[in-house]
Structure 1
Amino acid sequence: MLALGLSVSAGVPSTASAVTLMDLLRGGPGKVERERERQERSLPGVTQPGIAATRDVDPEPLPRVAGPRYYTYKADSTRVIDSSKFSSGLAGVKVSATPEIAKAVEAYYNAGGAPIWVSNGDISERASAVLAFFETVGDSGLNPADYAVSAPSQDVTASISAEPQAQVQNVALTDEQNIPPAMMQFELALSVKVLTYVQDTARGRVDPNKLSGYHDFKRKTVNLAPVLKLASMSPDVGAYLRSREPSNVEYQALKAELVKLRNEDRDSTSKIAVPTDLVLKPGENNVEMAMVVKAIEHRSSAGLKTEHAMTLAGYQQTPEYTPDLVDLVKSFQAENGLKADGVIGRATVRAMTGDSNEAKIAKLEVAMEQVRWLPADLGDRFVFINQPAFMAYYHNEGKEDFGMKVVIGSKANQTYFFQDEIQTVEFNPYWGVPQSIIVNEMLPKLRRDPSYLDRQGYEVSVNGRTVSSSSVDWYGSTNAISVRQPPSSDNALGDLKILFPNSHAIYMHDTPAKSFFSRDMRALSHGCIRLVDPRRMAAAVLGTSINDVDKQIAAGQNRAVQVPGKIPVYVAYFTAWPDKDGHVQYFDDVYDRDSYVMKAFDATTKTRSSSI
């Protein structure tokens, strides 16, 4: 053994890593390294270390990760109400309804519920009150046609009135044998419409999840069981139905605006017209200045008008764009989320003149529908992100504390419409690169230059094992590959991110690309919400100071801090929405989503009109 040991040592250089007998038996000093290389090569998509993944043949076409799509809306399906167990007059009457409403109708009449809308062979006063109420639901952003029920013809009611008085007196409220089938049809049809209205006003006419893959809501379940009984007992059934509307301040502000627009005097002398191609800089003169001031006075909030009351009162219709008018315009621009530079251009004119009444009404109807998708009470403390406004608002104790500019997803990488709860603030975060960015944006570079991510400082792993970017076969599947960017001054998430875990991988975060916030149109991200002042938002949701947030970041450590309590976050999409003073503002439909809601309205009305 000794001789073997000497002969081995004689053939090996005298270094700290000289071969021992055990090394020889185990495969030599390179065994561990060779085993590591073997394991790395065994990972899917990994080539031999140090050998770039190149191809001599034509490469496969680049794959794409497709985003969600928009759907052709299909209204809720209906079924025929089972009236076989109803009292004799109603048995066999055929009326269709959605399953939830059909179930509520069946429960009421199967339990012996008396007719509500028919009395002594004629429609009751209660029915007349409901029909009159349904004619007014347009003020609530609903379509009266969705609740229309044709009253039986006068011939039907007259035939009963002509019968001997004694026979009519024998037609008790609960005895429908002598009531014509048309009346019983009306009874059930109106019950369906009453229940439909109650359900619509609580959760909306449209199922948002059937609009697109970008809509993600748990649709509300409405308790319809007591509705018909309450309607039969209410001394003022119209008031009862009206009470079912949302009562939150946002909905009420939208409704007030809708009523105002519908009743507004549309005389041409009241219209404000500013040329859309107007460009006016501070110090210049323009005859349109008077119309600009009038437009700002008409469109601005009460707070802004109070702040600039002296300027507005003292303006003499002159064409000069004076410093006090520049300050007025800057305030108006800031209030509307525009760059407050005092230069009047296309975006500022658009904010001044707004949409036509018809376009505003359409936006209000969509907005009121979407409010119904949200909780009836948004909460005392919450974050509300309105994508078309490119703004995020923090509410505390039931009122808006502050708002800030945001950057949202581009049209190709749209931000979803959903709600969640904020859970964590992560300081000095890692950025886990989404598969869509790896495939759609990084992959073309990586096929040309496999070491690209190594040079950029990204971490690459395959099935959880860290590997070099240059060792990955970027022509294969990327499903097992993950890429992340460590904390740094160049990190795409900046100094912090605010997490509300969801299946869409959307969160709020800082960004090194600060210049984007100076733009008016800020649909520029990959889908997440970039904040202009992330430290302020982080301090607010954590219930701490901005100074404390600064210290956490300065420590340089990646650290996640739990948010105390539950803070809802609404990643919303409203082209009409009230500001903190209740003044409704209108925004461009950056993703063209309103049109899909309006098409869904039409599909719903068509289905409902054919089911009765």
Structure 2
Amino acid sequence: MIQKFILLFLIMVFPLFLLGKDLSSQGEIRDQIRIKLEIVQPGQPLTIRDQSLKTSDEIYAFYSNRAFREAWSSDGILTELAYELRFEIRQSKFDGLNPQAYHLGLIDAFFATFEINKKNGKANDPAELVDLELLLSDGFFQLAAHLEQGKVDPAQLKSTWEISPKSQKADYSALLSVSLEAGEIRRNLEQLYPKFTIYKRGREVIRALDEKRKSDSLSWKPVKIDKTIKVGGSNNSIPVIRQRLQFWGYMGQYEPEDPKVYDSALFIGVQEFQRKNGMEPDGALGKNTIAGINNSPLDLIGRASVNLERLRWLPDTIKEAEIILVNIANFRLDYINKMDTIFSSKVIVGQRYHASPIFSAPMSYLVFSPYWNIPTSIARNEIIPAIRKNPNYLSQKNMEVVTFSGKSVDPNSINWSDKSFPYMIRQRPGGSNSLGLVKFMFPNKYSVYIHDTPSRSLFEREDRALSHGCIRLQNPAEFAKILLSDMPGWTEEKIREAMNRKSELIVNLNRKISVVLVYLTFWADAKGQANFRQDIYNRDEEILTLLRK
């Protein structure tokens, strides 16, 4: 009888003892979280195992709002959401981000320890649970911010990026609370992606390249050539070039008669490579083609990563109903209306030492038969030295000298050797005018605009970084017709007449159209096909270095 009473007592009391132990452990974890966060001095980062938490303020706000209750464990055991967040941190490599920036190595170490504890029937150390708790939350807040705003601050770059960022950012503390309540980490993080379909397509390209990298056994030592190789030519690098094009699927496997000879089968593969990479498909193995063939899967992952970061910098307003988009690296302008590309044209952009800036501004008017008011720098560095050598230069170029109020000045009255030049040089309207017959104005501090050009043959070049910074357009008459389509009377004939006047004609648009000059050396098209372009201004490397930190 006594034995039965003792057994019944143990059955009733022992579970309460265990429950009290669990509650005590949970209380200990909460106390440790609170103490750890409260002892941090303002402005100083919290450190876990020599790793600084970058979002101490957000972490404190998040935990204080939940009475310092743990988010990633329950009863001393990691939750499924903790595993889901670790998975999302790992997946951030497909966003071009570095998972180690979100403490992945240390998080993995804690997970491994807890897995061993589970196998051995050992309880997890509350202090270790607290450390992992804070690491996971910091990882979430950092990753959320980087997915929405980008990791790199474009204002800190050597090059210009003056497109306004997103006007608002999410409340990441509230987002984490909602994610925990709904049991949805991935879906809520995905809501922070840029609202452009090319972003998700770009992620899939990086995923595919990563799989390609895993099967890669080639040497990617750069191929170097002294001169362009054409069909029938022989070179020791031909076998390597053939092997790389076969690796990427631009051509099939075959046995060449002479491995070192540039044969017809390789020619077809080179043309396909050139087409897919925005080059002139002439089949010639020149400098640009060889540079592209030298890119390994890891190189292309890096380039794609840089451009996903650039997409994260863009405001969602880029998706507005009507936009003129100029991708400098692609030498192309697209006019997009209601998500449809209505007009697309080749453009000429700034030379490497006169790079076209990255910015946005509203287009408000057109100027037909424009004067070219020559910028002071061009006048000083190019025009005036030419006049000193050739007194007839101004008349030959249909140029004149005027005061800043527009009054004509006799060039013979000017001492061209004088360092002071209180005048303006401008080129009269006409077919030889450097701005061509029309210019499209979106006033900005760079004095950059889109314009026609008399130098039509330059559009046939593959590398069209040739201007002083302005954007020269191949099909300006067609573009003008589209922009003026909501203004009755602007027929093709009237536009032609306006383009051939002897004096300027300013036409204000009925609405302002956002013009965005971007610099994208990679994107994925509607078919998911990767498109890579030359980094003509050498800007990718700086961003990639910062991304990989």
Q: TM-score under structure 2 normalisation?
A: 0.73
Aligned partner of 2:88 in structure 1 is 133
Other structure's SS at 2:97 match: coil
Aligned partner of 2:171 in structure 1 is 224
Other structure's SS at 2:319 match: coil
Distance 2:210 2:273 in 1: 26
Aligned with 1:574 (options 517, 520, 527) = 520
8 A contact 2:45–2:54 mirrored in 1: no
Aligned partner of 2:437 in structure 1 is 495
How many angstroms does 1:424 deviate by? 2.0
8 A contact 2:349–2:464 mirrored in 1: yes
Does 2:340 correspond to 1:399? yes
Rate the CA distance shift 1:320–1:354 in 2: closer, same or farther, 3 A.
closer
CA deviation string 1:563-604 (max 9, x = no partner):
3444333212122123454422212211111111123224xx
Aligned partner of 1:390 in structure 2 is 331
How many angstroms does 1:510 deviate by? 0.8
Amino acid at match of 1:232: L
Aligned partner of 2:457 in structure 1 is 515
RMSD over aligned CA atoms reads 4.5
Does 2:139 correspond to 1:193? yes
Rate the CA distance shift 1:294–1:395 in 2: closer, same or farther, 3 A.
farther
Amino acid at match of 2:196: N
Give 1 or 2 for the bigger CA radius of gyration.
Answer: 1
How many angstroms does 1:374 deviate by? 1.5
Aligned partner of 1:361 in structure 2 is 301
CA deviation string 1:36-78 (max 9, x = no partner):
xxxxxxxxxxxxxxxxxxxxxxxxxxxxxxxxxxxxxxxxxxx
Aligned with 2:215 (options 251, 266, 272) = 266
Distance 1:457 1:597 in 2: 45
Q: Which runs of 5+ in 1 are unaligned?
A: 1-85, 169-177, 301-311, 606-612
Other structure's SS at 1:491 match: coil
How many angstroms does 1:495 deviate by? 0.7
Amino acid at match of 1:507: Y
Distance 1:292 1:532 in 2: 36
CA deviation string 1:105-131 (max 9, x = no partner):
444344445432344455544333212
Distance 1:269 1:148 in 2: 32
8 A contact 2:205–2:524 mirrored in 1: no
Aligned partner of 1:244 in structure 2 is 192
CA deviation string 1:178-233 (max 9, x = no partner):
964x6545444433321221111112111112112422232334122522322332
Query: What's the % identity of the aligned pairs?
Result: 25
8 A contact 1:454–1:469 mirrored in 2: no
Aligned length: 483
Distance 2:266 2:507 in 1: 46
8 A contact 2:198–2:523 mirrored in 1: yes
Q: Which runs of 5+ in 2 are unaligned?
A: 1-32, 47-51
Distance 1:576 1:547 in 2: 39
Distance 1:537 1:327 in 2: 35
How many angstroms does 1:494 deviate by? 0.2
Distance 2:57 2:502 in 1: 60
Aligned partner of 1:596 in structure 2 is 542
Distance 2:36 2:218 in 1: 59
How many angstroms does 1:468 deviate by? 3.7
8 A contact 1:496–1:534 mirrored in 2: yes
8 A contact 1:195–1:224 mirrored in 2: no
Other structure's SS at 2:38 match: coil
How many angstroms does 1:445 deviate by? 3.7
Aligned with 2:499 (options 553, 557, 560) = 553
8 A contact 2:103–2:135 mirrored in 1: no
Aligned with 2:405 (options 458, 464, 477) = 464
8 A contact 1:428–1:559 mirrored in 2: yes
Aligned partner of 2:9 in structure 1 is none
Rate the CA distance shift 1:593–1:157 in 2: closer, same or farther, 3 A.
closer
Amino acid at match of 2:286: R
Other structure's SS at 2:348 match: strand
Distance 2:208 2:461 in 1: 32
Amino acid at match of 2:455: A
Distance 1:231 1:208 in 2: 29
Distance 2:523 2:294 in 1: 13
8 A contact 1:451–1:469 mirrored in 2: no
Aligned with 1:440 (options 357, 362, 381) = 381
Aligned with 2:482 (options 534, 537, 540) = 540
Q: TM-score under structure 1 normalisation?
A: 0.66
Amino acid at match of 1:431: W
